[in-house]
Amino acid sequence: MSEPTPPAPRRRAPFDPVAEPAGPSTTLVHGAERPERNAGSVVPPIYQSSTFHFPGEFSESARDGAVPLYSRLENPTQEVPAELVRRLEGGAAARVFGSGMGAITTTLLALLAPGDEVVAPEELYGGTLDLLRGLLSRFGVRVRWVPAASPEMVAEAAGPSTRVFFVESPTNPTLRVHDLSRWARAARSAGASLVVDNTFATPINQTPLALGADVVVHSGTKYLGGHSDLLAGVVVGPEALIARIDAVHAVVGSVLDPHAAFLLARGLRTLALRVERHNANAVRVVAALADHPKVVRLDYPGRASAAEEAIAARQMRGRAGMVSVVVRGGLPAARRLLHGLRWFHVASSLGGVESLASLPAETSHRSLSPEERAARGIDDGLVRLSLGIEDPDDLVRDLVRALDAV
C-alpha cells in the first residue's frame, strides 16, 4: 500500500478583522503577525540594527519603501506595537516614540506654527503643562485655558488662530472626566484638530477616535507596556496627519529603541486581561476607602459630579485602575500613609502590574506653584494610587491598615 500523501504545507491566513471580526484580546495576540516575513517565527523578532542593507541602486526611487532605510526613520520592530495600538484605537495609522512626552511634543510641533493657539484644560499631566506653558510659548504658541471649574466653556474657548484642542481624560491626578464628544464638536466648529491623551483610560476602556477625536496620544510607558520596564509613546491618527508627524519625528528623533519596541509589543498582548484586573481592583478599593474616616476626598472617574458620572458611563467601558485620595492631615499624614504601605511601591508612574503610590505635589505636578496646584484640586495631601494586578483583598487590607495608622 502506498504511503498517504502528506498534507500540503498550509500558509497561515493573515489577520483580517473585516472578514473575521475579533475582540480586543484576539486582536492583541494576533493583530501584528507577519510570519511570512519573519522566517515563520510566531513572535516577531527584534531587528536590533541601526541601518539596513540597500538592495540595488542607492536612491529613494529604487528603495520605494520596500526595505527600511535607517532606524531613526523606521524599523520593523516598531511596526508591531504601533499596529496593535492602531487596531485597538481604530485609527488609520500609528507610530511609536521613545516616550509619551516624545509623542506629545512631536505631535504638537507637527500641528502648530508660531502665532497658533491651543485650547486645553487646566488639568493636564505636568510634563504636558510644561510643554504648553514653557517650550511652545517660547516659539510663539499661545494657550487658551478651559477652567477646571467650567469644563463646558470649551464650546466657546477657540479664537481665529486656534489649530489644536488638547485634552486628557480621565485627568492626572484628580481623575476628572471630560466630555470627549463635546471637545470634538468644539474642535470641528473651530476648524481645529482634537488630540486626546488616552494614557489613563487605555483603548480597552475608551476609544476617543470613535467619539470624534482626530489624534490619540499615549504614554506607552504606563498601561500599554504594563510592566514598568520601558519608556514609550504612541500616536494614532489619519494617514495625512501621521505623515506630517513623521516629518517632524525624523528630525526630533524621539525614537523607540527596537528592544523597547519588542517589550512594548510583548506587554500589549496581555493588555485586555491586565486592564480588566486593574479596573476591578480600583472598584474594590473605591468601595473600601470611600467612607474611611481618614479620607477627606476620593477621586475616581465619574465621582466628581452626577454630570461626570453620566459622561463616564457614556464614553468609558471601564474606569481604569487609578484612585486618588486626599488624606486628613495634609502632607505629613500623606507621607505617613506612603510609609505604612506594604504592597505599594512609593514611586511615580502608573499602569504597571505592581501597585504604586505617589504624591503628585512632589512628583508629576511639582513644577506648578502651590496656588496653581490648589486651583486644580491637587492638595498637598493627595496620594495617587495606581492599582496593580495583585489580589484585591491584599491591596484593600494594606490600604485600610495604613490609613488606620495615619
Ligand X SMILES: Cc1ncc(COP(=O)(O)O)c(C=O)c1O
Asked if residue 172 binds ligand X (CB under 6 A), the reply is yes
Enumerate residues 272-291 that contact ligand X by CB under 6 A: none
Indicate the pairing of strand 215-219 with strand 233-237: antiparallel
Least Å distance between CB 308 and ligand X? Answer: 18
Could you give the string, one character per residue 314-353, with x where binding to ligand X holds by CB under 6 A and - elsewhere?
----------------------------------------
Half-sphere exposure of 319 (CA within 13 A, CB side): 24
Burial environment of residue 227 by CB neighbours within 10 A (0 to 12, 13 to 18, 19 or more)? middle
- Is the preceding peptide bond at 14 cis, omega within 30 degrees of 0? no
Amino acid at 9: P
Total interface residues for ligand X by CB under 6 A: 15
72 has catalytic annotation: yes
197 has catalytic annotation: yes
47 has catalytic annotation: no
Residue, CB closest to ligand X:
100
Least Å distance between CB 81 and ligand X? Answer: 14
Asked if residue 94 binds ligand X (CB under 6 A), the reply is no
In DSSP terms, 102 is beta-bridged to none
Nearer to ligand X, 84 or 403 (CB): 84
222 has catalytic annotation: yes
Nearer to ligand X, 100 or 318 (CB): 100
Nearer to ligand X, 117 or 197 (CB): 197
Asked if residue 168 binds ligand X (CB under 6 A), the reply is yes
DSSP states of 231-249: --EEEEE-HHHHHHHHHHH
Region binding ligand X by CB under 6 A among candidate stretches 30-38, 66-74, 96-104, 249-257: 96-104
Asked if residue 183 binds ligand X (CB under 6 A), the reply is no
Angle at which helix 306-315 crosses helix 180-189, to 10 degrees, equals 80
Least Å distance between CB 306 and ligand X? Answer: 25
In DSSP terms, 262 is beta-bridged to none
Enumerate residues 105-134 that contact ligand X by CB under 6 A: 125, 127
Least Å distance between CB 399 and ligand X? Answer: 21
Asked if residue 79 binds ligand X (CB under 6 A), the reply is no
Using CB under 6 A, which of 199, 228, 315, 386 touches ligand X?
199
Catalytic residue among 63, 72, 297, 328: 72
Dist. CA 23–CA 28, nearest whole Å: 9
Virtual torsion, Cα 195, 196, 197, 201, nearest 10 deg: -160
In contact, 93 and 86? CB cutoff 8 Å: yes
Helices (H) and strands (E) counted in the chain, each on its own, are: 15, 12
- Pure H helices in 54-160: 60-63, 76-89, 100-111, 126-130, 136-138
Residue ranges in contact with ligand X by CB under 6 A: 99-101, 125, 127, 168, 172, 197, 199-200, 219, 221, 231, 233, 364
For the annotated catalytic residues, the residue numbers are 72, 125, 197, 222
